[in-house]
Amino acid sequence: MLPDDTGESRIWEASEVCSCGLVHAGRPGHAYNEEAFRYVLTLEQKRAERSRNSFLLLLIRSKANHQSQGSIDPVLAEAIFSGVSRGVREGDFIGWYNDGRVVGAVLTEGIKTPAPEVPGRIGRRLTGVLAEELPGHAAIELEVRVYRPRSGEKG
């Protein structure tokens, strides 16, 4: 809750300033649209700076579409969201980092700095989950990267 000018608390103030919403509402693997995801990412960056904790940012894109800036097929995107939702914790946030092109997840840490091998371990685990979720060899065509954003870095 955020206080308004009168000192009263208001729930989800962002609903008045953005068209935040869910992609695939009502289906497994709830995911935020790009605007909502970027909003949550900004909130997490501010929270991490204030608390001096860290978080990780997971980004998934199609290797084939990376050069052409093409969109991820909607059926494949739904399977990616489903796999990512299976592979992250309940408190993590998933959605479009770049609408139709890059799937993202904000992985809240709650610790000062994760060990250097943690992002690689998470990336490998998510790649394995996606390989189980996606049809055929589709997982091979994905680039899965996990970053620890630096303090003050914009999403």
Kindly list the domain boundaries of the chain, sorted by start residue. Answer: 2-147
Looking at residue 105, its pLDDT comes to 96
Neighbouring C-beta atoms of residue 123, cutoff 10 Å: 19
Q: Which whole-number Å values give the CA distances from 42 to 19, 39, 72, 116, in the listed order?
A: 15, 5, 24, 23
Coil vs helix vs strand at 121: helix
pTM of the model: 0.77
- The one-letter amino acid at 122: I
Looking at residue 63, its pLDDT comes to 84
The residue ranges of the chain whose pLDDT is under 50 are 1-17, 25-29
Residue closest to 72 by CA, chosen among 83, 84, 63: 63
Angle, CA of 102, 67 and 97, to the nearest 5°: 15
Looking at residue 136, its pLDDT comes to 79
Residue closest to 143 by CA, chosen among 88, 87, 80, 82: 80
Looking at residue 49, its pLDDT comes to 86
Task: Please state which of the four CATH numbers 1.20.58, 2.60.40, 3.30.70, 3.40.30 is assigned to the domain occupying 2-147.
Answer: 3.30.70
In the chain the first and final C-alpha atoms are separated, in Å, by 23
Looking at residue 151, its pLDDT comes to 57
Looking at residue 101, its pLDDT comes to 93
Looking at residue 150, its pLDDT comes to 67
Query: pLDDT digits over 27-64, tens only?
Result: 444 789 999 999 999 999 998 888 888 899 999 998 87
Averaged pLDDT score across all residues of the chain? 78
Q: At a CB cut-off of 8 Å and minimum separation 6, what does 95 contact?
A: 23, 31, 32, 33, 34, 36, 37, 40, 103, 104, 105
